[in-house]
Structure formats: structure tokens, C-alpha cells
Amino acid sequence: MKLSAIDDYSTFLYHQGTNYSSYRLFGAHFTSYKRKSCVRFAVWAPHAQQVSVVGDFNNWDDRMDRMTASSYGNGIWVAYIEGLQEGDIYKYAITTSSGDVILKSDPYAFASELRPGTASKLTKLHYHWKDKNWQRDCQNYDSYKNPMLIYEMHLGSWRRNAAGDVLTYREIAQQVVAYVKDMNYTHIELMPLCEYPFDGSWGYQITGYFSVTSRYGNPEDFMYFVDVCHRNHIGVILDWVPGHYCRDAQGLRFFDGQPVYESENELLAENQEWDTMNFDYGRTEVQSFLISNALFWLTQFHLDGLRIDAVANMLYLDYGHGAGPWQSNAYGGRENLDAIDFLHKLNTAVFAAIPQTLMIAEESSAWPLVTKPVDVGGLGFNYKWNMGWMNDMLKYMSLDPIYRKENHNLVTFSLCYAFSENFILPLSHDEVVHGKRSLLNKMPGDYWQKFAGLRAFYAYWMAHPGKKLLFMGCDFGQFIEWNYNDSLDWHLLEYPMHHALHDYVRELNAYYLEHPELWQEDCEWSGFSWISCDDCNNSVIAFYRRGRENNLMTVVLCNFTPIVRHSYRVGVPEKGVYAEVFNSDAERFGGSDVCNTDAFVSEDIPMHGQNQSMVLTLPPLAVIYLKMQSEITDNGTEKI
């Protein structure tokens, strides 16, 4: 890696918040100084009286390797130390303004000690990438017009070895890729992998923003994981947490004895609900730190996107304060103006450097224009998780079908705003923990009805506008909630219904990939039309998805009750011959096999606002897809 010189220019950019490769300036880098091999250490500690580098190599004696305050920057400390090797551990011993000495991990370290150790580790980022073809193809990739089926993973609990130990990045790479390819996913989304001290935080409370967690190996091992994914045409997205950080003593909190990365105002600095610290987005050095970190993962690790966690915590000053006090902005509002400016700056910088990046906001409020460009007043992301759709649908699907007719709006309301943003429809880890139950166990009814309800939900979800995300284990019907400290229950695949559900998800994913009408126009009304959205008494909805070409169309009918709807007349958009091409109630998927085996010729009977209609059977707790096989014109039947 090419280092940045510690000079007027690089430090000026850092202090004004525009040094977007500050990891080349700070941290520990192997280099040469005065013609001697050494490691250059640099850290920003503006309130420190003195800083030293300590480690096993000097018996953790803060008198040995003292750093010098750089003449180029406010609070930048530098040292050149000879005789160090990769793998050596170190910390900064910082003498605070009050004279106390505190030990801190390096905010810019590229590797960290395995928990419960908290030291930083010397390393070089050296890996020979083999994903040139992927990188070339990505330059012309338009995610809006392509399918996106994201498999969300927690690496430590996807699968473990016979002894119950976690797999390394290298051990898991081939297994994950084989699985994801077999199941027809297009992307993997990894829960946070920046170094974190507590397993139970799942990686969302970080101490080492530039360190890939040592739980599963070293940085080169993770590069290998990404490389294997890319060589198999699988994109990799990483959960990234710039919204808050943990309070652990070795981390960023009170880094030099005083607030550095957090605000001096306690009400702004702390998220009381999560017992974490908020970044001070108005501090320019923090802007350089975070934007550099985003670009570090995207460039050095070839990641294809970042899913930004807890954006609402960044946007709202009262977030996480409950009924307690909070600090309003200069205009008396609850909006965090510094955070808004930071997000503008972040997304502008990322897209300027790597235009095809996926920048995905996990934003749970109704904040407008999240996925609109900064120059038209948006936050600048290109995707947002549709949390409203997720909450409504999980509430609806958890209801006993007898009560669904009174809650029909939970199914239909999402189309009132489906094209206001570029959405991803998430069925994530957050929905299968903390007593919420697994997706399968949310479904009401007996054993058969639970599987039928989940199959119907998945087929409806797949046809709804928006890209897709599914958490691991949900594709074979994990019955218990997700446990970060144990492997998924892969043995469930030995049971017929779970095996059938697994086959179902694979085939449903394949249908999605093979039918452009389900993803070409995800962000436009032109790709979706209601047929029937008001049949609440039968808990039935019907709509169709259309692609860019006129002959690309799938008609979708959903029956959210366990009652078979015989002789159900439904309108269709065009005159022609239709056939059922996918049925979630098929016997091979564990269903009751109520299928429409014959083709349907549409009739000149108006229905549901359409000039044509036909009569068919709706299977129980099921969704069917129809395709027009032939178009009927004045000259006769023409094959599509």
C-alpha cells in the first residue's frame, strides 16, 4: 500500500474533512526512514501531553518509544520504530491532559488481537487478486435494471465444524459460494466484520474500524473470501456501522482522555438506549476517518457495497433517548444537521470514486428522498431497506387468516409509496431474534399451514417491486430463533417439509432470475399494475409485473386464507391464452397440489377494470404465477 507523506497537504485535507484515504496517513505502516526499515506510527490525539507506542517489543514501557508531535498537524503524533515484524501487537500509551496514562488500540490498525485481547496487530495488506473480470464487468453494471437476491449471513453461526468451532474465512469461502450458487442468490450481505469485542453485539459495536475481525482469520483470508465470491459471480455487501461505537476502554471513547470522536455535549455523544457513543459528524477529522473507512473497505477489500446500519440514529437527535432529555439543533428541530451533511459528503465521495457501489440505508423512518441524489436534496444513497413493508407484512402474515380481511390494508399500503425510493425488501436477522420468533414460526396454524403460509409469503415477496434480502436459515425453515453462538439447524433438511421448502426457495429464486419483468422496472410504476387490491373478504390480491418488452409479463394471484377459491374470476390485462407456471401449493413443495393444469383462454368479460377475464382456482394459502402463452389477435392466435 502506498503511504501518504505526513506533510502540509495531507494533514490539511485531514483537518478539513476531505482526506478520504487517511488510512494511508495514520496507523502503522512498514516503510523506510533515513534508509532504515521501520514501522511508521501516526495517530491523532489532540489533547494528549505525550503519546508512546507500547507492546511486547518494549515490555509495554511507555518510556521507550515515545512519539513526536508533528509540526504539520494539530494533535498528530508520529514515531518510526525499527526491528518490528508482522504479527507484533501494540497500543498507544496516551498521557492525558490530567497526567493519567491510558492504553488505546490504534483507530487505523489493519488487524487486531483475537478477543479477549484488545491490542492492535502489525500487518501488511498483501493479496494477489484474481477477480479482474468481475471488476471489469462491474464498471458497466446497472443494479436498478438487474436482479438482486441478497443472502444475509452471520459468518460465525452459518455453519461450524464438528467440534463446534467457527470456520475461518478460507474454510467457509468455498462452502458458502457453493451454497449461494446452488440457491440462485446474486449477492451475499455479511453482518459487520470490523473488529468488535463482544460476540453478543453481532459486530454492531465496534472498536477497530479498519480491522477485519480476527475471529475468522486475517485480512488476507477475508480478501480470499471476497475473491472467491467474485470469481463465482457473487457480489459481496458488508454491514457498516458509522452511526455509533462501543464504550470499551481500548476504543474511540475519550480517546486521549477527552472527547475526540464523540461530541463534548453528553446529550449528543451518547445513545442511552444502546449504551453506545455517537460520532460527532460536525468534526472534520471524524468525517475524514469515516469516509476513508468506507472507501477502505470498498477499494482494499473489493467490496461491492455497504449497508449502512441505523441511519435513523444518525438523522434524529432524539433517537435512543426515550423519554429522557435530548439536544435540539440550532433551529429547535430534531434533525441532526451535521449528520445530514456528513451523509451527503459520504455518498458523494463514494460514488465519485466507485460509481457502481451499492450504498444501502437501513433507515426506519419516513425521512424523504433517502435514495435521491444529493444535488436534488436527497441523502444520496442508491437503495433503502423498506422497513414499512416488512413490518406490515410480518404483522399481517402472523395473523390468523380469519382476521386478515380486516387488515387487508397491511398488504396493499406499501404500493402507495413503493416507488418513492429505490427499495430492498428485507427479511433480515432482526426479525428472527429477541422473542420475535423465526419466520416459519410466525405463521399461524398447524404444521402444514405454517409451511404453506411461508411459501405464499415468499412468492408474494418475490413478485412485489423491490430487490430482495433473506436471512440465512429462513430458506429452509429454521424453526427456532437465530442464535449467534451456534450453527444453523442444517439437520432440518433431513425432514421432508423443510427439504421441500428449501427446494421451493431455490426454484422461486430461479424463477425470479429468469423473468426480467420481476426486476427490470423495480423502481418505476411502469413495472407494476394492480388487477385487484380490494377483495378483502376473500383476502385475495392480484397484480402483474411487466418488463421493458411488452411480452414480458407475470400475473400474480395471492390467496392468504386456507380456503380453496373455486371458480374465481380475475381480470387480465391482455387478450390471450394463459397458463399457470408457478404454484406455491405444488405437491413437490409440500403443498396440497391444488393446481390449474389446463390453459385459460381469456374471455371478453370485463373484470377488475380489465376488458378481459378468466375463471380459475386459487389454492389455499398460496400464490400462483400466470404467463400468457399466446396472444389472441384479430388474425387468430399468435405464440408469444
Catalytic residues, by residue number, are 309, 362
Count other Cβ atoms within 10 Å, centred on residue 39: 23
For residue 391, the 8-state DSSP code is H
3-state secondary structure 419-487: CCCCEEEEECHHHHCCCCCCHHHHCCCCHHHHHHHHHHHHHHHHHCCCEEEEECCCCCCCCCCCCCCCC
The answer to whether the CB of 54 falls within 8 A of the CB of 103 is yes
Cis? peptide before 219, omega within 30° of 0? no
Cα 337–chain centre separation:
25
With vertex at residue 79, the alpha carbon angle to CA 78 and CA 84, rounded to the nearest 5 degrees, is 140
Are 306 and 192 within 8 A, CB to CB?
Answer: no
| CA 488/CA 158 separation, integer angstroms | 6
Q: Are 457 and 394 in contact (CB under 8 A)?
A: no
Report the candidate in 239, 362, 242, 379 with the shortest Cα–Cα distance to residue 305: 239
Distance, C-alpha 324 to centroid of its chain? 30
Which residues are registered as beta bridge partners of 189?
Answer: 152, 237
Angle at 388 between CA 384 and CA 392, to 5 degrees: 145
Q: Are 506 and 582 in contact (CB under 8 A)?
A: no
Greatest Cα pair distance in the chain: 94
Place of cell 441532526: 336
Question: Of how many residues is the chain composed?
Answer: 640
Cα-to-chain-centroid distance, residue 505: 20
Distance separating alpha carbons of residues 78 and 59, to the nearest angstrom: 20
Nearest to 601 by CA among 623, 582, 581, 574: 574
Coil, strand or helix at 335: strand
Question: Smallest Cα–Cα separation from 237: which of 180, 186, 200?
Answer: 186
* Contact yes or no for 519/512 (Cβ under 8 A): yes
Contacts by residues 191-194 (CB-CB < 8 Å, ≥ 24 positions apart): 191/152, 191/153, 191/154, 191/155, 191/239, 191/429, 192/238, 192/239, 192/240, 192/241, 192/309, 193/155, 193/222, 193/238, 194/240, 194/241
DSSP state of 245: B
Q: Return the ∠ at Cα 351 (arms to 346 and 352), rounded to 5°.
A: 100
Q: What HEC string does 134-154 produce? A: HHHHHCCCCHHHCCCEEEEEC
Burial 112-128, CB ≥16 within 10 A → b, else e: bbeeeebbbbbbebebe
Contact in structure between 614 and 576 (CB atoms under 8 Å)? no
Rounded CA gap, 4 and 337, in Å? 31
Q: Which cell is 569 given?
A: 374470476
